[in-house]
Amino acid sequence: MAHTEPSKLDLSAAAATNESAIVDSDSVPAGEHDSRSIVPSTVPSHHRAPSGAPSGPVATAPNQYPKYIEHLTRLADARPSSPYLNPIDYDGLSWPSVGARERLESSVEEKAAREKRIADAVRTLLTELGEDPNRSGLLETPERYARAMLFFTKGYEDNVKDVIKNALFEEDHDEMVIVKDIDVFSLCEHHLVPFYGKIHIGYIPNSRVIGLSKLARLAEMFARRLQVQERLTKQVAMALWELLQPQGVAVVMEASHMCMVMRGVQKPGSSTTTSCMLGRFREAQRTREEFLSLLKK
């Protein structure tokens, strides 16, 4: 697949539909993989770009894994809102929530009204908990909480084009690149309490590299949302795969969840590890083992 010049990276094509992007398996010689990627042709209409959006190849998943594609097909039929399709939408947003564009495009007055509605809801919550929202310690808490929640979820408004900018470069490098110990903080979507930890991102370039700080910014963008760790890990990996079209991507995340510490089983010190391996990291055991061993150093 031909690479786009970094300064002209067109992320708008990532979620628009184009039938020519679907690979005909009959055209691929036996035992070989087409260099392109595919997604199931059954992707529901609401995963496609709105009418008038720029045309281009669909956002893809690596077609080296028939079982993975079969899995995506089932997801497209059973769970249309699954985040495993279309990693970058037609306007640069990545897996936007239902109200993401409305929030992003709000006027100053609309943003103030949204913040007030959140604060009013928090005031009701405090009352229902048996507190007095008018006492001195809680008097401005609803407004503070509203601003905090909007910050904690600011990733919904982030645009990949603005996050990455022009930090994609053509470079003759085909060895592993790893950035370890990136701190991430997110909110569990089940209980709205924090989970936090470190994420490690590695990839094997295919003549294109990304500015190292952009890996951390990409992780931050997906972390500043209501999340589950499994999805966060996969979103970072899939977005990087789409941006770089590398030989492989590997993402490992280790995190502590307050929903397991402050409530429920109440087990301080427990840690959850998730991973997503694509391309050579998934196919070649030695490559995967090298990556995992480097994380321990």
Catalytic residue numbers read 188-191, 229, 257, 259
Residue 141 CA to residue 119 CA, distance in Å, equals 8
User: What tokens appear for 30 in the block?
Assistant: 């036996």
User: What tokens appear for 129 in the block?
Assistant: 């908990």
Residue 222: is it exposed, middle or buried by C-beta count within 10 angstroms (0-12/13-18/19+)? buried
User: What tokens appear for 281 in the block?
Assistant: 């990291």
Residue 95 CA to residue 77 CA, distance in Å, equals 18
- H or E element in which residue 283 lies: helix 280-283
Beta-carbon contacts of 12 under 8 Å, excluding residues fewer than 6 positions away, are 53, 54, 56, 90, 91, 92
Coil, helix or strand at residue 60 = coil
Distances (CA, A) of 128 to 65, 132, 259: 51, 9, 22
8 A C-beta contact, residue 163 and residue 214: yes
8 A C-beta contact, residue 56 and residue 13: yes
Residue 297 CA to residue 290 CA, distance in Å, equals 11
Residue 155 CA to residue 137 CA, distance in Å, equals 30
